[in-house]
Amino acid sequence: MHPFKNYISRFTAMPDSEWSEVEKCITRKEYQTGHLLLKSGETCKKLYFVEEGLLRFFILKDGSDVSKFFTVAPYCFTSQRSFTDALPSMDNIETLENSTIWEMSKTDAFDLFRFPVWSEFIRKLIQEVQFNTEQILEAIQNQTAEERYMNMLESADPLLNRVPLKHIASYLGIAPQSLSRIRKKLLDQ
């Protein structure tokens, strides 16, 4: 089964007739580590599905980049506000690993709404993204950086082995030196 169809099936069953229409709209691309799929200030014109690889969403703030979140394959992603409203994105989207990504134009993505199953898939995907975003915001508001890092350790978060520590630190909202102190403190315990 095509990896994107398999991913969609997590949300809803898609008949072959509808899948064949979706399949016509996607293009497979290979990107090397460090490639910027989207730069801040650009308008996002694509819906993406990462089949293999790892991505980082980040913003530029006071001369440094701040990691907002990471997207691990398999997952569907875009810069939602920029994509939906045709606004310049504040986000940068970078590949942290060599990545296989399927791309779909905004025109095709919106045209596919004529199919009820595509509409259901997108609705459920948006709900999942909103839930994940709420979890991140709740953690930021209610936990210290150390507690959030410990949660990553306790859950055996695979990001810890795949993402450079400087990006983990910025995701936690701390300097890399602070993350080093937290890690040392945990090792000493």
Tell whether 19 is covered by a domain. yes
Residue-range definition of the domain harbouring residue 73: 3-113
Tell whether 74 is covered by a domain. yes
Tell whether 185 is covered by a domain. no
- pLDDT score at 102: 98
C-alpha span between 99 and 101 (Å, rounded):
6
Tell whether 40 is covered by a domain. yes
Tell whether 175 is covered by a domain. no
The pair phi, psi for residue 6, each rounded to 5°, is -60, -40
Mean pLDDT of 93-109: 97
- pLDDT score at 152: 84
pLDDT tens digits for range 48-76: 999 999 999 999 988 889 999 899 999 99
Check whether 122 has a pLDDT greater than 80.
yes
Q: Please enumerate in sequence order all residues whose Cβ is within 8 A of that of 73, keeping only pairs 6 or more positions apart, or say none.
A: 50, 51, 52, 53, 54, 99, 100
The pair phi, psi for residue 91, each rounded to 5°, is -80, 150
Peptide bond into 74 cis (omega under 30): yes
Tell whether 135 is covered by a domain. no
Share of the chain above pLDDT 90, in %: 71
- pLDDT score at 160: 84
Check whether 125 has a pLDDT greater than 80.
yes
- pLDDT score at 189: 75
Mean pLDDT over each residue of the chain, to the nearest integer = 92
**CATH number of residue 37's parent domain:** 2.60.120.10
Q: What is the pTM of this model?
A: 0.89
Check whether 10 has a pLDDT greater than 90.
yes
Check whether 94 has a pLDDT greater than 90.
yes
Confidence band for 162, pLDDT divided at 50, 70 and 90: very high
Share of the chain above pLDDT 70, in %: 100
Tell whether 137 is covered by a domain. no
Tell whether 184 is covered by a domain. no
Nearest Cα residue to 30 out of 63, 73, 61: 73
Q: How many domains does the chain have?
A: 1
Mean pLDDT of 176-184: 87
